């Protein structure tokens, strides 16, 4: 028997994220990177630039990724998993292509990628796979040896993601005035996307109303609502999945209702308070700090509606441990073993390899780490 490490055949983990500006001079070039070719109205861009300037031109996402990197390295070291962890982004330094080039220079040829998006969708999955294909094409053009890159399965229903989120929801409830806690509604939020993108999210056989994107979020919302019911004993607490951060032109349908409209509606129905639970996000980045903590909080204040916002998983050690489990699970699968595939809820563990037709792009482009990858 060979004594191969449990992470074989992988030799490195890549944390693949969105990226964000680190100072005022970065804001406009960052937004140009994000929106290149995506047809976002100029007015919206100006407005979003203001969100970043309000925070000194610094997105919280980079420090959050640094914290997650540290948590992953600590967890791996404590468990004897000798897999180095790298970090690269889609839209800002450290850029994915530079990171992948460094990984190749360091001798890595079999890379597993963890994205900071837990769910299926074009923006949260295939677009990262397109970024990987672009980076591989750049290395190929430089005559470098190409690593094989795989992507970890979606982790929205892993207990290491759901349990901290449920705990954070209870903590947020605890921050509301005592007299409104029992009656407080839960508003689970995620990024709005065009309904056409939602309907085609996930594998082709699941396409239809809301697709995998909405189904996956509803499963997590149900799990968290159920955990809160068990802990608080409140049987009929109203909850709903709502959306935030819409950015497209008004004539294109995006997922609704928006969190601010939802706050208004439940206020009118007599809700005494709302806990906003950003299940769609992995860290308290700008979409959370501005769109919820600033904009939606101001809306709630105007309505005289007490609100609290639950923390995202961030660098929670349970999330880092979940990533380790998922890495070891995938490694075992790649070695031909049949590891246990942990998942809560009704959907079961997500696929390891995105099939052809999964989360299609409007304009087809090469995407790596899926069944339709032009790379090995």
Ligand X SMILES: CC1=C(CCC(=O)O)c2cc3nc(cc4[nH]c(cc5[nH]c(cc1n2)c(C)c5CCC(=O)O)c(CCC(=O)O)c4C)C(CCC(=O)O)=C3C
**Residues within the interface to ligand X (CB under 6 A):** 18, 20, 31, 34-35, 38, 40, 44, 48, 59-61, 116-117, 121, 123-124, 191, 193, 245, 247, 280, 285-287
Longest CA span, the chain: 68
Please give the residue whose beta carbon sits closest to ligand X in the complex: 247
CB 359 within 8 A of CB 201: yes
- Least separation in angstroms between CB 64 and ligand X: 8
Which are the contacts of 109, defined by CB distance < 8 A and separation ≥ 6?
11, 145, 147, 148
| Tokens at 53, concatenated | 């300037």
Cβ nearer to ligand X, comparing 34 with 113: 34
| Tokens at 357, concatenated | 């037709």
Cβ nearer to ligand X, comparing 283 with 331: 283
Q: Would the annotation count 17 as a binding residue?
A: no
| Tokens at 108, concatenated | 């890595």
Q: Would the annotation count 59 as a binding residue?
A: yes
- Distance in angstroms (rounded) separating the CA atoms of residues 316 and 323: 11
CB 161 within 8 A of CB 319: yes
First-last CA distance in the chain: 28
Burial of 124 (0-12, 13-18, 19+ CB in 10 A): buried
Cβ nearer to ligand X, comparing 63 with 226: 63
Cβ nearer to ligand X, comparing 90 with 267: 90
Residue 160's SS3 state is: helix
- Least separation in angstroms between CB 190 and ligand X: 7
Q: Count, in order, helices (H) and strands (E) of the chain.
A: 13, 8
**Cα angle value 104/359/169 (rounded, 5°):** 90
- Least separation in angstroms between CB 221 and ligand X: 16
Q: Would the annotation count 287 as a binding residue?
A: yes
- Least separation in angstroms between CB 298 and ligand X: 18
Q: Residue 239 is inside which H or E element, if any?
A: strand 239-244
Cβ nearer to ligand X, comparing 59 with 189: 59
- Least separation in angstroms between CB 215 and ligand X: 15
- Least separation in angstroms between CB 144 and ligand X: 27
Cβ nearer to ligand X, comparing 153 with 181: 153
Q: Would the annotation count 262 as a binding residue?
A: no
Binding-site residues for Fe-coproporphyrin III, please?
A: 59, 128
- Annotated binding residues, written as ranges, equal 59, 128, 191, 287
């Amino acid at each position: 028997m060979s004594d191969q490490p449990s992470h074989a055949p992988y030799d490195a983990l890549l944390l693949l994220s969105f990226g964000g500006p680190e100072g005022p001079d970065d804001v406009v070039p960052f937004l140009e990177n994000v929106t290149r070719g995506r047809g976002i109205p100029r007015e919206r861009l100006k407005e979003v630039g203001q969100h970043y300037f309000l925070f000194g031109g610094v997105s919280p996402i980079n420090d959050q990724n640094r914290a997650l990197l540290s948590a992953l390295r600590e967890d791996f070291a404590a468990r004897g998993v000798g897999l180095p962890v790298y970090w690269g982004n889609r839209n800002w330094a450290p850029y994915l292509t530079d990171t992948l080039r460094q990984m190749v220079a360091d001798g890595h040829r079999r890379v597993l990628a963890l994205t900071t998006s837990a769910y299926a969708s074009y923006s949260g999955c295939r677009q990262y796979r397109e970024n990987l294909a672009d980076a591989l094409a750049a290395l190929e053009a430089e005559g470098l040896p190409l690593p094989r890159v795989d992507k970890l399965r979606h982790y929205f229903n892993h207990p290491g993601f759901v349990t901290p989120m449920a705990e954070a929801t209870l903590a947020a409830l605890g921050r509301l005035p005592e007299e409104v806690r029992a009656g407080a509604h839960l508003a689970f939020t995620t990024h709005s996307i065009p309904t056409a993108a939602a309907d085609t999210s996930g594998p082709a056989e699941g396409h239809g109303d809301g697709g995998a994107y909405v189904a996956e979020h509803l499963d997590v919302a149900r799990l968290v609502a159920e955990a809160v019911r068990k802990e608080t004993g409140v049987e009929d607490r109203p909850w709903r999945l709502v959306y935030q951060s819409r950015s497209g032109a008004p004539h294109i349908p995006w997922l609704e209702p928006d969190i601010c409209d939802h706050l208004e509606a439940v206020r009118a129905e007599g809700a005494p308070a709302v806990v906003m639970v950003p299940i769609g996000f992995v860290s308290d980045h700008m979409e959370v700090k501005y769109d919820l903590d600033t904009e939606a909080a101001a809306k709630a204040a105007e309505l005289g509606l007490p609100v609290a916002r639950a923390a995202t998983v961030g660098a929670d050690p349970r999330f880092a441990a979940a990533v380790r489990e998922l890495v070891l699970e995938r490694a075992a699968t790649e070695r031909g073993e049949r590891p246990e595939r942990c998942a809560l809820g009704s959907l079961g563990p997500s696929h390891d390899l995105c099939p052809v037709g999964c989360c299609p792009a409007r304009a087809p482009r090469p995407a790596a780490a899926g069944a339709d990858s032009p790379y090995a």
